[in-house]
Amino acid sequence: MKISEGVEWSCHACAVLAGLPQSVALRASALAAFHELPPAYMAKHLQALSRAGIVRSVRGVRGGYRLARPANEISLWDIRQAIEGTTPDFQCREIRRNGPCSELGASSRPCAIAAAFWAAERAYQQNLQMVTVAHIADGVAKLYGAKGAARFQAWVKEVR
């Protein structure tokens, strides 16, 4: 499975938003600047996340984006679907129905190749459904510790 940059960037943005105090929102440009990403591209993905109910926009001088629901209720699969859609990654083209063996009736059974890819896709989906933004944010907090948390909070104050 190929995961687009947009999915990766959106996961990072949601992890940043998970670290905010309840009353704080961040502009798309600040979220893009945090990881040195293109602001227009980040804004596009935040709009997709907003349409999916993952983030919400807050209007006003201190407006921006924040998570629309608790971080422990947002999975990486939710983000992946918001950015890339709900169409399965593997699309069986039934090419086995072509060629000299197509008349032998094998096409009435499920294709073993398609079944293998669909099983892999289900496992991929289930794995991403089990990992929440809260899991990611907690891991980042543990990795960077109190010093990292203080730098993050200082950055938030600076960009607001």
* Residue of 63, 60, 70, 55 lying closest to 24 (CA atoms): 63
Residue 139: C-alpha distances to residues 55, 83, 135, 157 (Å) = 21, 23, 6, 22
- Summarize pLDDT for 80-94 with one digit per residue, the tens: 999 999 998 888 888
- DSSP label at residue 132: B
Cα dihedral 141, 5, 35, 74, rounded to 10, equals -40
Which of the four pLDDT bands, split at 50, 70 and 90, describes residue 43? very high
**11 SS3 class:** helix
| HEC assignment per residue over 51-106 | HCCCEEEECCCCCEEEECCCHHHCEHHHHHHHHHCCCCCCCCCCHHHCCCCHHHCH
Domains of the chain: 5-159 (1.10.10.10)
The pLDDT value recorded for residue 108 is 67
- Summarize pLDDT for 123-156 with one digit per residue, the tens: 999 999 999 999 999 999 999 999 999 999 999 9
Residue 35: C-alpha distances to residues 12, 28, 153 (Å) = 8, 12, 15
- Summarize pLDDT for 112-130 with one digit per residue, the tens: 899 999 999 999 999 999 9
